[in-house]
């Protein structure tokens, strides 16, 4: 399979559109990569449509969001495509790969690793920004100038940091239970030391709270939406720290809707419940 070959692995009719699963050889990771795309009916008729890139969390694959989030129903209604990549390179045969720094398989953290042995293949930021997005916009009926980004947990970290590190690429931003201040939580410290080494300045460049803190004006003036379950055990364990990101947004003048949802945990029942709100948030901003 060459880097230019986009192989359609499976396709399913879904809410008048098509749910597709693809694989291709990646020049950035040096390994085969998988991703999924939902195309609404307008796209199947040849119209270029806006899209939301969704970054999943720990242990997930390119299938998890599409199977569990109940997102296609709303994407079909709103005429939005959905793009969900795998969360990490796979099959590199690196010792410890299956542990992924005690997070489990898939803990790519949506950054480019600089520390061996991870630096050869663990290039998720470059893969997403320099390879996957250009690929889907070139090969599929997706409007490159109307892309939003959303993510959950580790993927929420990825969504916010990529949105802030690549100004102008994404027009809308939301997250579910993001790891919002990884330099100050055990998950982030473990991942960053493993992938980036012990230089804390390198860590800071991938921390959503610190990145927002560097802004003097709102990078997303139409607003950011975050939902956080109050029964989320990882919130209680101080792994997520949404309050630090909220403080940084206030200082930057960034409009933020942080909704603390009583009774909800960290899983996909929580995400299903509020998925419609997030896709409507994106649709409103991508229509401008």
Choose the catalytic residue: 86, 232, 281, 282.
232
Q: 272, 69 in Cβ contact below 8 A?
A: yes
* CA distances from residue 212 to 98, 253, 257 in whole angstroms, order as listed: 32, 10, 15
The token pair that represents 83 in the structure block: 């793009």
Query: Is 86 tagged catalytic?
Result: no
What span, in angstroms and rounded, lies between the C-alpha atoms of 79 and 85? 20
Which ranges in 80-232 belong to alpha helices (H)? 124-126, 133-139, 154-165, 186-196, 200-204, 208-213
Catalytic residue, candidates 24, 121, 152, 266: 266
Active-site residue identified among 153, 227, 278, 281? 153
Peptide bond into 213 cis (omega under 30): no
* β-bridge pairing 81-85 and 172-176: unpaired
| Residue 266 known to be catalytic | yes
Is 138 a known active-site residue?
no
The residues annotated as belonging to the active site are 153, 232, 266
């Amino acid at each position: 399979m060459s880097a230019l070959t986009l192989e359609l692995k499976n396709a399913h009719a879904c809410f008048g559109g098509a749910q597709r699963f693809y694989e291709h050889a990646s020049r950035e990771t040096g390994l085969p990569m998988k991703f999924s795309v939902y195309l609404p009916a307008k796209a199947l008729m040849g119209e270029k449509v806006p899209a939301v890139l969704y970054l999943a969390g720990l242990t997930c694959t390119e299938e998890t969001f599409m199977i569990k989030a109940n997102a296609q129903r709303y994407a079909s209604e709103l005429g939005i495509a959905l793009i969900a990549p795998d969360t990490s390179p796979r099959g590199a045969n690196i010792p410890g790969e299956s542990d992924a720094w005690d997070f489990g398989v898939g803990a790519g953290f949506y950054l480019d690793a600089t520390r061996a042995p991870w630096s050869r293949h663990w290039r998720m930021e470059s893969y997403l920004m320099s390879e996957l997005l250009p690929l889907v916009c070139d090969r599929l009926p997706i409007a490159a100038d109307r892309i939003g980004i959303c993510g959950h947990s580790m993927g929420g970290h990825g969504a916010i940091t990529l949105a802030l590190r690549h100004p102008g690429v994404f027009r809308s931003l939301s997250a579910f239970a993001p790891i919002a201040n990884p330099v100050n939580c055990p998950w982030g410290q473990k991942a960053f030391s493993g992938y980036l080494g012990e230089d804390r300045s390198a860590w800071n460049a991938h921390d959503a709270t610190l990145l927002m803190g560097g802004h003097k004006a709102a990078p997303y003036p139409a607003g950011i939406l975050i939902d956080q379950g109050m029964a989320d055990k990882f919130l209680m364990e101080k792994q997520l720290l949404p309050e630090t990101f909220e403080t940084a947004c206030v200082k930057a003048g960034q409009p933020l809707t942080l909704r603390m949802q009583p009774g909800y945990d960290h899983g996909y029942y929580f995400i299903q419940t509020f998925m419609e709100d997030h896709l409507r948030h994106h649709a409103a901003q991508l229509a401008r």
